[in-house]
Structure 1
Amino acid sequence: MTVRSRILVLLSAVVVLAGVALASVLHASARADRRDHTQAGGPKVTSGEVTLTAPGRMVFRNMAWGPHRDELTTVPASDPSGPRTASGVKCLRFYAASGTGVCLQAVHGPVSDTYRALILDARLRTTAHYDVPGIPSRARVSPTGHFAAWTAFVGGDSYAGTNFSTRAAIADTRTGKLIPSLEAFRIIKDGHTYRAADVNFWGVTFAADDRTFYATLATKGHTYLVRGDLRARTVTTVHTNLECPSLSPDGTRIAYKKRVPGLPKDAPWHLYVLDLRTMRETPLAEPRSVDDQAVWRDAHTIVYALPGDYGADLYQVPADGTGRARRISSEAVSPAYLGRPRSPA
């Protein structure tokens, strides 16, 4: 074979390989495009208007792959797996009440990411923003919308172990005043002022009086439910072995995760509900370990996230310990159920 023939064969092979590669790319692009628009058989997601004053709707972070991944999206609360309307606003964690939202975001930099908390109005416009000193973890808004809280990991990135540090902050959404850390509050434990270098707080949840809140306090290898007073700037221990509390709509019960002996170290929790009047604990009918701050859909139903194929899926379970858990929405996390604005109790 002459040199000219060899060159022609080589060029032909290159052309064939280039054609195969181009066809593969076009095929993959077409599949990706279809996936972006159909979410690979999952929920349909389209751009549209999202507000925080539409009773009967759920707003959450969309985890489905495609152009709207990580955006706040909305669906009817009665059809949580239905078509989604995407807002264009991206959040890692989110919550809303009475037309006010809190969105914890990553700010991508040339070397590393930083994080911030945005206070959002009913049309998802930013009214205030605050630096967050670590990886966002939990977010809540008071029933009146007057206060927002968030938790971040400033050391470590999981609640399963003991070698981590958190920072819980509360902002007044009307004045902009920030309490950068609950560690500034006086701790009352067993009736006495308590101080320790290893104190951590996380998982704030608010009552409707614009004064009372609950949170997790960790110290000396133990966790406690604490009741906080925003005016007195105190937190008082209420119960033991309780993490990520979520106050019921009527303010009488706490949904939470509890460490159960015998479970794996990386998945040690079971969901419970605590009656604040009797201190009676009720285990819920979710057999898996839940690492989330659950949400009350209503007075009878708890909603929470579990790991899924695209990050997380949402499940619900009865709050009285009966029934069974069931998935209500795939590729979703950080739900907030919208209702009518509430005034301080």
Structure 2
Amino acid sequence: MTPLRRLLVLAVGVLLLGGVGAWSVLSAADRAEEENKPRPGGPAFTAGRVTLDEPGRLVFRNTAAGPQRDHLVSVQADRAAGSVRTASDLSCLRFHSAAGTGVCLQSTTALGRPAYRAQILDAGLRTVKSYPLAGIPSRARVSPSGKLAAWTVFVKGESYGTAFFSTRTSILDTRDWQLTPNLEEFAITLEGRPYRNQDVNFWGVTFATDDDTFYATLSTGDDTYLVRGSVRARAVTTLTRNVECPSLSPDGTRVAYKKRVLGTAALWREHVLDLRTLKSNTLAERRSVDDQAVWLDDHTLAYALPADTRPNSNDTWTVPADGTGTPKLLFEDGQAPPTPVN
């Protein structure tokens, strides 16, 4: 090949690569623009101050398409479906709050690569502390007093429904900022015997009011267990099997959870377990719920489900905790709310 021909081939290659690069950039921009378009008939927003301690309001993660997607918003609790949403500037992939303390699991970038962090927030959504995360955010919880926070991330895999996944669950004491980076460090008593195995995973922490006791899911082998743990003793004990993503009731007597149901269209069904008798009650929601439910009060649970006709969005539903009634839509385009402020 002559030098002139080589030069022509190089020039054509550069032009083609430039064209492909420009097309990729424009396509990405078009997709981003499409995702940022508000949905016709979707929720209305107003700018304003969002706080975690305002009585009568719910703060949650907005999932409606548009510039406020993933931002924390607040609405009137008694008319959550129709309220104009007050939007903050803070975005979270997972969020929970109680007693004026919030935990926000965020996506960010480090050296040009995806990265994640946990932000501990005060009542005004100001960051008090920040912690790097080892993987993709999955669950977040704050104790009723606001003194303890927990989060779970996927280190491998991206779903509890996949055959191969690994999680890491951390607990933080906001009084002295003592961090337990991995619950797998805790001593385990499984069905009455000390237990240790490399395949152990924890997720879905929920706290009691004593700022020590917690409940969580332990997975090992082919089983999942509800465990009761102590932060101070650094130990957990199994209570019963086939319990995932527990949520402790405000009165501390029951745990709402998702139960794996094989051979049915619904992979997980919502149940409530009586901690005194370990008897379980199936709730009226028959769809598969892959969420850690929230107790709005001692009688009502809220949880998120994928929106039927809106990709990448969730709707929040409620159902009675005693197994009666029918599911009701609380609001569209939003992840389940935190503990209400009274």
Q: Which residue of 1 aligns with 2:169?
A: 168
Instruction: Specify which of 310, 329, 334 is matched with residue 332 of structure 1.
Output: 334
Q: Which residue of 2 aligns with 1:281?
A: 280
Aligned residue in 2 for 1:297: 296
Q: What residue in structure 1 maps to residue 319 of structure 2?
A: 317
Alpha-carbon deviations, 1:139-195, whole Å to 9, x = none? 000000000000000000010123100000001112111100000100011111101
Runs of 4+ with deviation above 4 angstroms:
31-35
Which amino acid is 1:305 matched to? A
CA distance, structure 2, for counterparts of residue 183 and residue 294 of structure 1: 24
Residue 327 of structure 1 deviates from its aligned partner by: 1.4
Q: CA deviation at 1:34?
A: 11
Q: Partner residue of 1:43?
A: 43
The Cα shift of 1:339 comes to: 2.3
Q: Is the 8 A contact 1:94 1:334 kept in 2?
A: no
2:228 touches 2:236 (CA, 8 Å); kept in 1? yes
Give the TM-score taking structure 1 as reference length. Answer: 0.86
Q: 1:205 to 1:33 in 2, by over 3 A?
A: closer
Q: Which amino acid aligns with 2:194?
A: T
1:18 aligns to what?
Answer: none
Does structure 1 conserve the Cα–Cα contact (< 8 Å) formed by 2:283 and 2:320? yes
Change beyond 3 A, Cα 1:33–1:202? closer
Q: Cα offset for 1:40?
A: 1.4
Aligned residue for 1:228?
229
* Percent of paired sites with the same residue: 56
Q: How many residue pairs are counted as aligned between the two chains?
A: 307
C-alpha displacement at 1:85, in angstroms? 0.4
- Shift in alpha-carbon separation, 1:34–1:188, aligned structure 2, 3 A: closer
Cα distance, 1:105–1:32 mapped onto 2, change above 3 Å: closer
What SS class does the counterpart of residue 108 from structure 1 fall into? strand
Mapping 1:8-19, distance limit 5 Å: none
Q: Is the 8 A contact 2:71 2:90 kept in 1?
A: yes
The structural deviation recorded for 1:242 is 0.3
Cα distance change, pair 67–219 in 1 and its aligned pair in 2 (3 A):
same
Alpha-carbon distance in structure 1 between the residues aligned to 2:54 and 2:263? 44
SS of equivalent residue, structure 1 residue 337:
coil
Q: Secondary structure at the match of 2:124?
A: coil
1:18-57 mapped onto 2 (5 Å cutoff): 36=38, 39-57=39-57
The AA in structure 1 aligned to 2:69 is R
The answer for unaligned runs of 5 or more in structure 1 is: 1-27, 341-345
* Structure 2 CA distance for partners of 1:160 and 1:255, relative to 1, 3 Å: same
Q: Is the 8 A contact 2:214 2:230 kept in 1?
A: yes
Local SS of the residue matching 2:66: coil
Gaps of 5+ in 2: 1-29
Distance 1:337 1:143 in 2: 8
Provide Cα deviations, 1:99-118, integer angstroms capped at 9, x if missing partner. Answer: 00000000034642100000
- Report the residue type matching 1:72 in the other structure: L
Distance 1:34 1:261 in 2: 38
Shift of 1:337: 2.9
Asked if 1:188 is matched to 2:189, the reply is: yes
Q: Tell me how far apart the structure 2 counterparts of residues 84 and 229 of structure 1 sit (CA, whole Å).
A: 38
Indicate the residue corresponding to 1:12 in structure 2.
none
Map 1:247-262 to 2 at 5 A: 247-262=248-263
- Alpha carbons 1:61, 1:73 under 8 Å: kept: yes
| Distance in 2 (alpha carbons) for counterparts of 1:35 and 1:185 | 46
Distance 1:226 1:125, change over 3 A: same
Does structure 1 conserve the Cα–Cα contact (< 8 Å) formed by 2:58 and 2:341? no
Deviation at 1:261, TM superposition (A): 2.6
Q: TM-score normalised to the size of structure 2?
A: 0.87
* Residues 81-136 of structure 1: per-residue CA shift (max 9 Å, x gap): 12100111000000000000000000034642100000000000000011110000
Displacement of 1:219 in angstroms is 0.2
| RMSD between aligned residues | 1.8
Q: 1-side partners of 2:138 and 2:151: how far apart?
A: 7
- Separation in 1, partners of 2:49, 2:35: 23
Please tell me whether the aligned partners of residues 91 and 106 of structure 2 are also in contact (alpha carbons under 8 angstroms). Answer: yes
Which structure is larger by alpha-carbon Rg, 1 or 2? 1
